[in-house]
Structure 1
Amino acid sequence: MQQALTLSERLVAVLGARLGLRFFRRRDMLETLDAPAHGHEAPPGLPGLLQAARDTGPDLLARLRTTRNGLSDEEAATVRAHVGPNEVEHEKPLPWWRHLFNCYRNPFNLLLTALAAVSYATDDTEGTIIIASMVIVSTVLRFVQEARSNKAAEKLKAMVSTTATVLRRESPGDEASEPDKVRRPGRQGREVALAELVPGDVVLLAAGDMIPADVRILAAKDLFVSQSALTGEALPVEKFAQPCETGGTNPLAYDNLAFMGTNVVSGSATAVVVATGASTFFGSLAERVTAQQPTLTSFQQGVNRVSWVLIRFMLVMTPIVLLINGFTKHDWLEASLFALSVAVGLTPEMLPMIVTATLAKGAVVLSRKKVIVKRLDAIQNFGAMDVLCTDKTGTLTQDRICLERHTDVWGNACEAVLEHAYLNSFYQTGLKNLLDVAVLDHAEMHQRLDVVNRYRKIDEIPFDFQRRRMSVVVSENGDHHELICKGAVEEVMSACNRVQHGANVEPLTPDVLARLRRVTADLNAEGLRVVAVATRELPPARERYTVADENELVLVGYIAFLDPPKESTAPALRALAASGVDVKVLTGDNDLVSIKVCREVGLTVTGCVLGDDIEAMSDAELAQTVERANVFAKLTPAHKERLVRMLRANGHVVGFMGDGINDAPALRAADIGISVDTAVDIAKEAADLILLEKSLMVLEQGVIEGRRTFANMLKYIKMTASSNFGNVFSVLIASAFLPFLPMLPLQLLTQNLLYDLSQTTIPFDNVDSEQLTQPQRWNPADLSRFMVFFGPISSIFDVLTFVAMWHLFGANSAAHQTLFQSGWFVEGLLSQTLIVHLIRTRRLPFIQSRAAWPLLLMTGAVMLIGIMLPMSPFAETFRMQALPLAYFPMLAAILLAYAVLTQLMKGMFARRFGWQ
């Protein structure tokens, strides 16, 4: 019987499932924890994670040959030369030869290769060359385009590279003036790229930071770290600085270690880097990912579904062509070659290249619109998005908060409230938000309060998203301790039992509470964001305080902030609405403020739901509520994530825009996560797109570009599907009645190659405005309907060509089959190329909607080659002959009639099924 898994094995299994790994035993993992990464020779004495957790601070620093003020630049460079950059191996790009092979190995290229091998075995040199050319062109084009797009993406991502705050000494001999005192996180230290970190670097951590490597905590203040990326645990874990002796062999069990890929939820810390890159806990696991195939995105699944529609069609039609020609012509070898040529004609072999080129072009265009694409596939989701969830601050508003008022509990101006708020903001060491910055802008408070001489910080109770408040404890002249709490009004009031009324302190009765709520509601109704301030006098008996001490507080007043709406928000919302994108505001702010801001920017509020209401709703109730309401206020991170998931479950393609720590879960849950370059690290890491300007107008432009990208991809698929279906339908008719093949395999392959070349410029084509007004999605059912509807139209004119060649031009026997085949080759190629312009738009082609000049030039060149080939010196090579002059008026009449009928059918199809 299999033994039960240990805790560490279960944790590793959780991570393995998240990363797509096969399960492996604990001992395999632990072998890497105290060993250097492959390919790097670690400096002598470099400790492993388990050893680092058990060492005292001084012992660990000695092992790492560093100090409490970190390494010098020269020392860091020396260590980096041994251990390499702080990068996980699997993130490196593939070697060019592996990339080239990946571009080749798709089902279509493999099918073409098999056909080339058959042609070579049957001494069909021309066929072998043509087929090989198709494989080479498809592979090389995709390789070159992906290489370019990868380079562009790397340059774009480098613009938002994540950094860490590091202490670096000026020189190796520069020691700290206080060697036994760990410096607090603050403005000292400097930002360096994560790749530059080395073991021995001392880093400063604060709320919102990503843990940049595997680190040992040297000093911590209320440090809580989210390890859900490694363990799946929803709740953050508190970390301490003391050495740990009892942790076993599972590094995740040590509460003085923090790991690469996790993030700081609250509090602050100083830590020393123990392991970087592939030597980290995450890196040792990530090495096993390289052999695994990544999970397909919804975009890739959509491409595959469409491809399989065409492949299944090919698998059905090809055997029919083979059997008909084999039984009627009695030459099974020739029939087999012809059937394989038909199979090639039916395969969308250029689809990978077209998709890649279109996405790459979209990424470049978006970069010019201040949108950085971290993942190319996200562009399609951008165009498919029909619901955008966004925060309020900085998106609808200017993100330029100023302290508008400081009042007592009754709304009267009060300097004492500002003094308490200033002390709270000045002494807190967590993530200083814009509200703290606005308070600290009142620098005159520093001198008035004589902060340096009168006050000393004792402790801090950091902010978290459940309590929605934070406190500092200060000592004034050493006489007493004063706890100063500020935060969301309801949450602070819940911890109060008294109120400051002038010089008196009164009990907080229900009547008084009702009056206070009316005061704050009036402030909110003016568009002010209200933060409550409360205090509590404590005896100077201890040095550590906890959340339990936030009770029996005295409410002293409020500080009110103004964040005016952006002038660009209202037109951006109108543009998004016109584009079929429904905007929903998800905010942790007060509901009254949120509603007022929404109304000021022209967003009609269809319903406002609070976080507490969401908590009480079942999934079925929330599924209905999330469709009706468009403002959700006083939300926690869990509420935002649940709302996003519920919208997706309702069938929407959901975008989420956020920049804070509390937005990271929702960013991951959304179809497309959108952040900004000024966001906290964890938000940028979770996002698919990064905006260089936090504006809904920029976002609306990105949505339009995403739809333009999708529309151009869809054009190729529609053209290929309908044209291929029509060709095969024509082949079946001709094969059943002609005593010879309607077209030789070589000619069919040449026609297919030229047709594919005519479509290589589709990524650069123009898109009609009506195709950009609604979200775009993959729909294989629509493709099948389109293929069956438009494919037979070309067959009508192919049959007319057959009749004309047979009766008018005398190509009615095997002796004259070359003339027949040449005539159908030219008509078939020109009609296929013409369909590019007919199907690329719902409008009247060339008049109401004109293709981009690259597409016009390419299709024109291909049509000219097709006309000239039977008359060129290469005609004999392709077994063709010159066509009589009388053929060309007939050709013009057929093409004109084809265009007119297709245009009429487009109107019928669009009225009945719509036009995507």
Structure 2
Amino acid sequence: MMLTGNRGLTTTEAERRFAAGQGNATPNGSSRSLWEILAANVFTLFNGIVFAGFGVLLALGRWQDALFGLPALFNTVIGVVQEFTAKRTLDRLAVLNAPTARVLRDGVSVEIPLERVVLGDFLVLRTGDQVTADARVVDTDHAGPSGLEVDESLLTGESDAIRKRADDEVLSGSSVVGGTGTAEVIRVGADSYAAQLTAEARKFSLVRSELRSSIDRLLKWVTWALAPMILIVANGQMQAQGGWGVAIASGAWREAVVGAVAAVIAMVPLGLVLVTSIAFAVSGVALAQRQVLIQELPAVEGLARVDALCLDKTGTLTTGEMVFDRVIGLRNVDGWEGVLGHMGSAPDANGTARCLAEPFGEAQAPVDPEIIPFDSARKWSGLVVAECPDDTVPAPGTWVLGAPEFVFHDSGDSDQRITDALAEAGHLAESGARTLILAHSTERPAASERAELPAALLPVALLTFREQVRDDAAQTLRYFAEQGVGVRVISGDDPRTVAAVARAVGLDCPEGRDARTLPEDLDELGEILEHERVFGRVTPRQKLAMVHALQRRGHVVAMTGDGVNDALAIKEADLGIAMDTAAQATKAVARLVLLDGRFDRMPGVVAEGRRVIANIERVSMLFLTKTTYAFAIAVVFGLLAWSFPFLPRQLSITDGLTIGIPAFFLALMPNTARYRSGFLKRSLAFAIPAGLIVTLALIAVHIAASQLGDVSEIELQSASTLTLAGIALWVLAVLARPIHPFRILIVLAMYAGLALVWIVPFLRDFFQVTWLSHDLGLFVLSIVAGGVVLVELLRAWHLRRISSRSEAVLQ
């Protein structure tokens, strides 16, 4: 395309401006920087508490009791390495799949990376392009009411296309939906909308979600409770040593400090956030290997929560490749073949129109017609042909190609030819063919800011097109039905055509709903969406309204699409999914991009999300059980002025074997459990009683030891360690169900690790544990057995509670 003779910048001048900092470079926002990853994993409140305790014990010469600092450091390193690995993978994919800009250089249209666009460049804009820098329109390829049509919905929320003429500004982040043209770049980088829109769309962010908000709320509770708990524990430990004065004078304060540090460290659920972040990162990499790009890692959780999936028919259920089928002549008007050939050969022709280039491209095309570009809202495009003495060119007047119902929506039954044409179009649509009508009028459109249909339009020909249904579509939709995900097929095509395709992939839909009959009220629209599944003639505004209507009714909505007209709905959906063929604007706002465009990736995507959230819930119960018994033990032993029953090094055994090591494996294992809301309530409903069972068992051991009379401090600590480990390991065994060979191996390995601590003399001496006397050993075994029974009863109650609540929700 060549417009006013603009040649654009020379390559040398563009390079000079780029070197001078006038490029469109913006920070890579697809993930956090290495420094941000380090800061997020290292400089945390809980790490501060842990490493402060670590430093105190080192200063006291109790390095053996400071071992908890090493796992904390190791966990932090793992978190940094895992997330940085995920960052590199996702950044590499983001670069490979980044949109490009089309500019004039040395008079030639070339595609360059977005950041290489410089001030003064001439953008070459075509239908479907995202404007990559703020620019001033220099020229368009047609004048009059047509102009260059730009969708600014991502900036303003208004889905109506805005017509741009010479000297008008086009803003980065907007999208070209009609026409072609050139525009001179006037703002780049951080000064333009693109820097804000694209960076925000691709930024690593903690997505608002139940999982994240629940964990954040929990950590806030723990943080507020830590300060008073530290005072209670410190005072209790000093009182256990004979009081503050005696403890300080005798040097027993050292043991009190060690006990206080052990109690405080036990309260901190250090690994919960870490394991969650790693699970997200690993899932991001796993999906990337399946050609699914996660633009925001925590969006993985959104995959599990989806219960309403809105699909665009074209490119999702079908391959998106249109093939011209046949033409049915209705009325003979000179030159109609040339009109179709011109429309099919236009640079901004959509996929359907391009199918006309081959069968009609050889016919004589009109000379310099005025073009009315296709608009997804009005569903038609047109040519205005001027009078010409040459009778071989198409007849003068206005030629319109579009959806029959839209081209003749105001015609009624005034003309039998129109009535017959619409009836024939209906029969063709019912067979599953996409049907367009070519109409002609000898009059021009009325002068208007918005293109209007001319008067006296009459049908000339019906054209049918076929789409190939994806081989995997039926199987994929069956999966969603089995998983309780409601599917809505939304398309701009004739509802009868959409319904025919939907039936071909197994959906039960006798007929599709014409979106033009849908109410504007969101509550009424939501009620219809609950019962109907297939919709045709849907406008971009209605796609957005459908997303909002479903959300208002409590659904978690995923929206797939590839067109510019899908972008706003994809952005507003809980989970936006773009196909590989999507326009740049659509990819920019989607949280997921199917890089190979395969719809059969979707079950794996949803399953991955459900695996993550189900495993995080399982692991969170382990951490919350520990936090519960740590707080309870601290309160009871502190208020009763009992010595804390563990050394920090002994807690390192129980933490590592019952939580730390198995949590990493359990968080990454397969899990097919469906998502259910109420994550935090369910976790606390199990963890608090489980933690109290452990606390009661330890109180019983302490009381029994005092009754026996001759129990040494090391024996009491050993008995307490065995009691805690025995019950906590059974909590692990319960949460590792349903039974799986690898889960069984994990639990048995942890039991073996505990046995080794007592069997190996070096480990026994290092951790300061000993074999128990006969009476104390029997009592510990009986307490652990009782604890195991109580945990099993708790599990049964918890499962019944979940089951009854699930049934109540379904009812």
What range is the shorter-chain TM-score in? 0.7 to 0.9
What does residue range 168-317 of structure 1 map to in structure 2 within 5 Å? 168-169=105-106, 189-220=109-140, 221=142, 222-230=147-155, 235-242=160-167, 255=168, 257-280=169-192, 283=195, 297-298=208-209, 299-308=211-220, 311=223
1:380 aligns with 2:326: no
What is the CA deviation profile of residues 495-517 of structure 1, one whole-angstrom value per residue up to 9, with x for unaligned ones? 769xxxxxxxxxx6265544333
Conserved in 2, the CA contact under 8 Å of 1:218 and 1:270? Answer: yes
Conserved in 2, the CA contact under 8 Å of 1:570 and 1:602? Answer: yes
2:605 matched residue in structure 1: 702
Amino acid at match of 1:908: W
Partner secondary structure for residue 393 of structure 1: helix
Q: Which of 421, 426, 438 is 2:355 aligned to?
A: 438
In structure 2, C-alpha distance between the alignment counterparts of 1:470 and 1:288, rounded to whole Å: 34
Q: CA deviation at 1:798?
A: 3.9
> What is the number of equivalent residue pairs in this alignment?
783
What is the CA deviation profile of residues 664-720 of structure 1, one whole-angstrom value per residue up to 9, with x for unaligned ones? 111011011000121110110010000123343210111001111112211221111
Conserved in 2, the CA contact under 8 Å of 1:420 and 1:484? Answer: no
Partner secondary structure for residue 343 of structure 1: helix
1:627 to 1:530, Cα distance in 2 relative to 1, 3 A: same
1:330 to 1:655, Cα distance in 2 relative to 1, 3 A: farther
Q: Which of 728, 741, 745 is 1:832 aligned to?
A: 728
Conserved in 2, the CA contact under 8 Å of 1:311 and 1:346? Answer: no
Q: CA deviation at 1:603?
A: 1.0
Q: CA deviation at 1:574?
A: 0.9
1:348 aligns with 2:269: yes
In structure 1, C-alpha distance between the alignment counterparts of 2:20 and 2:755, rounded to whole Å: 62
Amino acid at match of 2:130: M
In structure 2, C-alpha distance between the alignment counterparts of 1:74 and 1:888, rounded to whole Å: 85
1:167 to 1:884, Cα distance in 2 relative to 1, 3 A: farther
In structure 1, C-alpha distance between the alignment counterparts of 2:649 and 2:270, rounded to whole Å: 17
Partner secondary structure for residue 718 of structure 1: helix
1:370 aligns with 2:307: no
Structure 1 unmatched runs, 5+: 1-56, 59-66, 170-175, 177-187, 243-254, 498-507
What does residue range 447-596 of structure 1 map to in structure 2 within 5 Å? 447=362, 449-451=363-365, 455-475=366-386, 478-479=389-390, 481-494=396-409, 509=414, 512-537=417-442, 547-548=451-452, 550-596=454-500
Conserved in 1, the CA contact under 8 Å of 2:344 and 2:361? Answer: no
1:394 matched residue in structure 2: 315
Q: CA deviation at 1:572?
A: 0.9
Conserved in 2, the CA contact under 8 Å of 1:833 and 1:863? Answer: no
2:343 matched residue in structure 1: 425
1:783 aligns with 2:686: no
In structure 1, C-alpha distance between the alignment counterparts of 2:376 and 2:558, rounded to whole Å: 23
What is the CA deviation profile of residues 233-281 of structure 1, one whole-angstrom value per residue up to 9, with x for unaligned ones? 5544332224xxxxxxxxxxxx2x3232222232211123344323546
1:905 matched residue in structure 2: 794
In structure 1, C-alpha distance between the alignment counterparts of 2:334 and 2:749, rounded to whole Å: 75
1:399 to 1:697, Cα distance in 2 relative to 1, 3 A: same
What does residue range 680-695 of structure 1 map to in structure 2 within 5 Å? 680-695=583-598
1:663 matched residue in structure 2: 566
In structure 2, C-alpha distance between the alignment counterparts of 1:689 and 1:94, rounded to whole Å: 17
In structure 1, C-alpha distance between the alignment counterparts of 2:401 and 2:340, rounded to whole Å: 10
Conserved in 1, the CA contact under 8 Å of 2:23 and 2:118? Answer: yes
In structure 2, C-alpha distance between the alignment counterparts of 1:531 and 1:241, rounded to whole Å: 32
1:147 matched residue in structure 2: 84
1:143 to 1:840, Cα distance in 2 relative to 1, 3 A: same
1:317 to 1:579, Cα distance in 2 relative to 1, 3 A: farther
In structure 2, C-alpha distance between the alignment counterparts of 1:811 and 1:148, rounded to whole Å: 55
Conserved in 2, the CA contact under 8 Å of 1:400 and 1:563? Answer: yes
Deviates more, 1:194-203 or 1:306-315: 306-315
Conserved in 2, the CA contact under 8 Å of 1:142 and 1:353? Answer: yes
Q: CA deviation at 1:191?
A: 2.5
Deviates more, 1:816-825 or 1:72-81: 72-81
In structure 1, C-alpha distance between the alignment counterparts of 2:710 and 2:490, rounded to whole Å: 72
1:775 to 1:580, Cα distance in 2 relative to 1, 3 A: farther
1:46 matched residue in structure 2: none
Conserved in 2, the CA contact under 8 Å of 1:725 and 1:787? Answer: yes
1:81 matched residue in structure 2: 19
What is the CA deviation profile of residues 629-657 of structure 1, one whole-angstrom value per residue up to 9, with x for unaligned ones? 22222111111111111211211111000
In structure 2, C-alpha distance between the alignment counterparts of 1:525 and 1:98, rounded to whole Å: 56
1:863 to 1:696, Cα distance in 2 relative to 1, 3 A: farther
What is the CA deviation profile of residues 176-219 of structure 1, one whole-angstrom value per residue up to 9, with x for unaligned ones? 6xxxxxxxxxxx73322212223343321012211122323221
Amino acid at match of 1:913: I
Conserved in 2, the CA contact under 8 Å of 1:406 and 1:560? Answer: yes
Q: CA deviation at 1:625?
A: 1.8
1:673 matched residue in structure 2: 576
Amino acid at match of 2:117: L
Q: CA deviation at 1:300?
A: 3.1
In structure 2, C-alpha distance between the alignment counterparts of 1:512 and 1:475, rounded to whole Å: 26
Q: CA deviation at 1:885?
A: 8.9
Deviates more, 1:467-476 or 1:601-610: 601-610
In structure 1, C-alpha distance between the alignment counterparts of 2:367 and 2:410, rounded to whole Å: 24
Deviates more, 1:744-753 or 1:105-114: 744-753
Partner secondary structure for residue 555 of structure 2: coil
In structure 1, C-alpha distance between the alignment counterparts of 2:176 and 2:666, rounded to whole Å: 43
1:725 aligns with 2:628: yes
Conserved in 2, the CA contact under 8 Å of 1:811 and 1:819? Answer: no
Conserved in 1, the CA contact under 8 Å of 2:421 and 2:459? Answer: no
In structure 2, C-alpha distance between the alignment counterparts of 1:763 and 1:84, rounded to whole Å: 50
Q: CA deviation at 1:297?
A: 2.1
In structure 2, C-alpha distance between the alignment counterparts of 1:420 and 1:450, rounded to whole Å: 5
Q: CA deviation at 1:817?
A: 0.9
Q: CA deviation at 1:793?
A: 3.5
Conserved in 2, the CA contact under 8 Å of 1:758 and 1:858? Answer: no
Q: CA deviation at 1:730?
A: 5.2
Conserved in 2, the CA contact under 8 Å of 1:130 and 1:750? Answer: no
Partner secondary structure for residue 270 of structure 1: strand
Partner secondary structure for residue 190 of structure 1: strand
In structure 2, C-alpha distance between the alignment counterparts of 1:860 and 1:87, rounded to whole Å: 55
1:557 to 1:811, Cα distance in 2 relative to 1, 3 A: farther
Conserved in 2, the CA contact under 8 Å of 1:386 and 1:653? Answer: yes
What is the CA deviation profile of residues 283-323 of structure 1, one whole-angstrom value per residue up to 9, with x for unaligned ones? 5x79999xx99785225324313434555676786666566
CA RMSD of aligned residues (A): 3.9
Q: CA deviation at 1:402?
A: 1.5
Amino acid at match of 1:792: L
Partner secondary structure for residue 442 of structure 2: strand
Q: What TM-score do you get using the length of structure 2 for normalisation?
A: 0.86
Partner secondary structure for residue 456 of structure 1: coil
In structure 2, C-alpha distance between the alignment counterparts of 1:520 and 1:97, rounded to whole Å: 61
In structure 2, C-alpha distance between the alignment counterparts of 1:404 and 1:269, rounded to whole Å: 32
1:543 to 1:758, Cα distance in 2 relative to 1, 3 A: closer
Q: Which of 851, 856, 871 is 2:742 aligned to?
A: 851
What is the CA deviation profile of residues 74-96 of structure 1, one whole-angstrom value per residue up to 9, with x for unaligned ones? 54334322226522247387664
In structure 2, C-alpha distance between the alignment counterparts of 1:114 and 1:581, rounded to whole Å: 48
